[in-house]
Amino acid sequence: MRRHMAGQKTKQAQSKLKYLGRIKRLPPPQTDGRGPSIRVNTSGRSYAHVMALENVSVGYGPTTVVAGIGLDLYRGDKIGIIGRNGSGKTTLLRSLIGELAPIEGDIKLGNNVEVAYFDQELSDLKPDLTVIDNLWELDPGAEIGRIRSFLGRFGFTGDDGFKVVRSLSGGEKTKLSLARLLYHPANFIIFDEPTNHLDIDSREALEQALNDYDGSCLVVSHDRYFLDRVVNKIAHIADGHIKVYDGNYAEFREQTTETVDTAKPKESKSKDTYRAFKEESRRRSRYKKELQSLKARIVNQEREAARLEREINQGIPRSDWEMLHDASERKKQVEETLLELYARLEELEDADFD
């Protein structure tokens, strides 16, 4: 339900200005490394049909874990994979990256698809090496300044870089593994439970990074709030089979409830009223959640814009053309994202929930 009233346009314009104004007014971002600012770089465009599976079965030796998989992924798709513990999510991902041969069928990747994989077990980390060395080994020719500044975006500042990995917390290990994953650009990223140990700030930073990312991704996650904000399709694994739904997690829930409901016999009138009431309250709580997360994202993006502006004006030596260029490109992106977010905010603020 939308309420149209006189002066609404003016109100919208004013609110946009108000928010745009905040870009400049926000205090400089904190430099204690608390709020990471993750960015996911794309490595050129992939072919539009990124991945195709038709009647594929995966598993171990003679044991099939998931059978008859049909799954298509197109450029820009962000698919969430859900399913109970042990249902075969990791098995599917390992098959997709070629670590495990499918029992049946072919897994096809499109041209120019460059895959990066985030392993649930973080087994890529070297426990005896420092944080810096864990990243540096990916690019031994890089200047240490570049390595440290990249780590800074994942919350490792000052002496953090000299900590040995085995002494890190679960959240820090996850962030380091994400840093390694995202160091080299990729246009198709496969994540196995990336948010498990992450604090809220980092989770939001990752959400935001994936929202801004124009490559494709597959994410296994139990975190439905994360899925709600990131994905456009849900692949549900249950009883050895997979089913794909359009939309985020909330939409998946609606569709699956509907499927179950339509299978039932006709319901009485009072039940219909009850259902309508439930639906309305679900809608309200979705609205509130989205509003909340939208505002958080706006604040984050505004901080990022302010940080980039400071970096461009003071932080980067004038002679470093490449970094200046990167920073101003990034700033442009952030400002574009902000405009989209403001537009969505106006839409939501316009919705009538009284």
Ligand X SMILES: Nc1ncnc2c1ncn2[C@@H]1O[C@H](COP(=O)(O)OP(=O)(O)OP(=O)(O)O)[C@@H](O)[C@H]1O
Binding site for Mg ion (CB under 5 A): 89-90
Considering the complex, state which of residue 223 and residue 309 has its C-beta at the smaller distance from ligand X. Answer: 223
We find the least distance from the C-beta atom of residue 190 to ligand X, in angstroms, to be: 13
Considering the complex, state which of residue 71 and residue 341 has its C-beta at the smaller distance from ligand X. Answer: 71
In one-letter notation, the amino acid at residue 182 is: L
We find the least distance from the C-beta atom of residue 193 to Mg ion, in angstroms, to be: 7
- Paired with 235 in beta bridges are 81, 244
Segment interacting with ligand X (CB under 6 A) among 36-44, 87-95, 239-247, 329-337: 87-95
Mark 59-78 with x for binding to ligand X (rule: CB under 6 A) and - for no binding. -x----x-------------
We find the least distance from the C-beta atom of residue 192 to ligand X, in angstroms, to be: 7
Q: How far is CA 15 from CA 245, 342, 347, in A?
A: 36, 9, 12
DSSP type of residue 161: G
Taking alpha carbons only, the member of 136, 130, 205, 180 closest to residue 160 is 130
Does 80 interact with ligand X (rule: CB under 6 A)? no
DSSP type of residue 194: T
We find the least distance from the C-beta atom of residue 86 to ligand X, in angstroms, to be: 4
Considering the complex, state which of residue 37 and residue 90 has its C-beta at the smaller distance from Mg ion. Answer: 90
Residues within window 25-64 making contact with ligand X, judged by CB under 6 A: 60
Residue 68 Ramachandran class (φ > 0 left, ψ -120 to 50 alpha, else beta): left
We find the least distance from the C-beta atom of residue 130 to ligand X, in angstroms, to be: 29
Interface pick for ligand X out of 62, 86, 140, 317 (rule CB under 6 A):
86
Does 174 interact with ligand X (rule: CB under 6 A)? no
Q: How far is CA 347 from CA 212, 250, 294, in A?
A: 20, 19, 12
3-state secondary structure of 156: coil
CB 28 within 8 A of CB 306: yes
Does 87 interact with ligand X (rule: CB under 6 A)? yes
Among the residues of the chain, which ranges form H helices?
8-25, 89-96, 131-136, 144-152, 170-183, 200-212, 224-230, 249-262, 269-310, 321-350
Considering the complex, state which of residue 56 and residue 131 has its C-beta at the smaller distance from ligand X. Answer: 56
Distance, CA of 288 to CA of 118 (rounded, Å): 31
Does 221 interact with ligand X (rule: CB under 6 A)? no
Does 90 interact with ligand X (rule: CB under 6 A)? yes
Does 81 interact with ligand X (rule: CB under 6 A)? no
In one-letter notation, the amino acid at residue 7 is: G
We find the least distance from the C-beta atom of residue 65 to ligand X, in angstroms, to be: 5
Residues within window 95-124 making contact with ligand X, judged by CB under 6 A: 120
Name the residues that contact ligand X, by CB under 6 A: 60, 65, 83, 85-91, 120
